[in-house]
Amino acid sequence: MHWIKQFTKGTFGLFAGQVIEGFQPLDFYHFFPLWYDLWIKRIAEVIRKLNLESKSFQEIKHLLPPPSNIRAILVKIIPTYQGYQEKNIEDVRLVTNFLARMLLESCPDDPFAVSSNPLHSAEEADEIVRNLKWTDADVSKARSIGQLITAAGSLVHGLYNDVVTDFGWDVYGPYAVTIDDQKLSLLIRHFPNLAPNELWQKEYLSLRKEIVINAVYEGVEWEISGVGCHTISKSGVPVQGMRKFSVTADGRYLSIDEIHELVNELSKKAESIYREIRKMDFEQLKSKVMLQECYQLKTMFDSAGIDWQPTEEMKNRIKGKALLDGILPRGKMMTDIDEYKKLFGISQFAQEVLGEKI
């Protein structure tokens, strides 16, 4: 497989015009190299035990996180590889090639989200449109949908932090669809797990585990860069362009009044969890982030009969340790893709792990 060039193009947009210090609640790119090699070793064990290399995406998709989350894991493995204590190239190659193949099979038209996140085929998108119960939108209702997206997204950032965000929030599309002879654009916003009771006490969790927001737009052009929560409107005004929407929570359609109630609930839970996070000291933050990171692949680990939680060896790697220094440039704003390949270790990774020169 040759995927690293597409990966670079698709992920550059995540860092262009930004500095890594913006990630919260800590600088992940100088934290992960303390222990990520040990986690990759365990992921490789799961892949081998379940013989996942010989299985297609369709066979094992129930074990996998959303596609944006798979991209996000690659976005962490590749730049932090240069700081690993143990560079087990065979395991790193196995894990990254497996994740890349899952993206190539699940989103073949744009596997690394250069401009879209097409988890569904055109035929599947048409079927979704035909089978959903739609509500006609106006500006007021469209604003309510926007508030729901913001509230759910805010809670996700607390539940999973900035770099595990994509486990709790993905956006699929945009898909060109037709409803009542109107040519429209479909976006599917998916919040798959707003109640991870393995991570937080019940008081911080949503009463609804899964929320799916389908919306169709006229005259709005969308672009998704790298991950689903980085969805922007390139042209048009979404609030004015929304024509219909359909919101389900745990499989049940919600009325506009229920959507308003849900916005209030999610907003309060988000505020509560942020207050809790601000109370944590450095050691508690490190432990929580490691637990959140490992939780992403819980379903896959459970299927293999391997404990998904951090091992004692992983915990010991971070206990009492300061963040590393010099892995990625602090205060450096990415403006050029060639600079990105060099400073984020992508060229080094491609050569050492994949045997490619980019």
* CA distance linking residue 49 with residue 336, whole number of Å: 41
**What's residue 20's pLDDT?**
66
**What's residue 27's pLDDT?**
87
* CA distance linking residue 328 with residue 343, whole number of Å: 7
- Stretch among 187-191, 199-203, 226-230, 288-292 having the lowest mean pLDDT: 226-230
* CA distance linking residue 222 with residue 294, whole number of Å: 32
Task: Identify the band that residue 21 occupies on the pLDDT scale cut at 50, 70 and 90.
Answer: low
Q: Are 104 and 3 in contact (CB under 8 A)?
A: yes
- Give one DSSP letter per residue of 282-350, joined into a string: HHHHHHHHHHHHHHTTHHHHHHHT---SPPHHHHHHHTTPPPP-SSS-TTPPB--HHHHHHHTTHHHHI
Residue written as token pair 């959303």: 66
**What's residue 208's pLDDT?**
97
Domain ranges of the chain: 4-111+283-354, 122-278
Q: Are 266 and 154 in contact (CB under 8 A)?
A: yes
**What's residue 22's pLDDT?**
65
Residue written as token pair 């937080």: 200
* CA distance linking residue 277 with residue 284, whole number of Å: 9
Classify the C-alpha dihedral 69-65-43-353 as positive or negative: negative
Task: Identify the band that residue 330 occupies on the pLDDT scale cut at 50, 70 and 90.
Answer: confident
Q: Are 341 and 12 in contact (CB under 8 A)?
A: no
Q: Are 70 and 103 in contact (CB under 8 A)?
A: yes
3-state secondary structure of 118: coil
- Stretch among 132-136, 161-165, 288-292, 296-300 having the lowest mean pLDDT: 161-165
Query: What confidence tens digit (pLDDT) does each residue in 62-85 have?
Result: 999 999 999 999 999 999 999 999
* Mean local confidence (pLDDT), 144-172: 95
* CA distance linking residue 61 with residue 296, whole number of Å: 14
Long-range contacts from 263-269, C-beta under 8 angstroms, 24+ separation: 263/144, 263/147, 263/148, 263/151, 265/206, 265/207, 266/148, 266/151, 266/152, 266/154, 266/155, 266/194, 266/206, 267/151, 267/154, 269/155, 269/158, 269/204, 269/205, 269/206
* Average per-residue pLDDT for the chain: 94
* CA distance linking residue 76 with residue 83, whole number of Å: 12
**What's residue 52's pLDDT?**
98
Q: Does the pLDDT at position 24 exceed 90?
A: no
306-343 burial, b for 16+ CB within 10 Å, e for fewer?
A: eebebeeebbebbeeeebbeebbeeeeebeebeebbeb
* CA distance linking residue 201 with residue 308, whole number of Å: 19
**What's residue 147's pLDDT?**
98
Task: Identify the band that residue 142 occupies on the pLDDT scale cut at 50, 70 and 90.
Answer: very high
Query: What confidence tens digit (pLDDT) does each residue in 234-262 have?
Result: 999 999 999 999 999 999 999 999 999 99
- Closest residue by Cα to residue 13 from 185, 229, 161: 229
Which segments of the chain are extended strands (E)?
135-136, 170-179, 182-191, 211-217, 221-224, 231-235, 242-249, 252-253
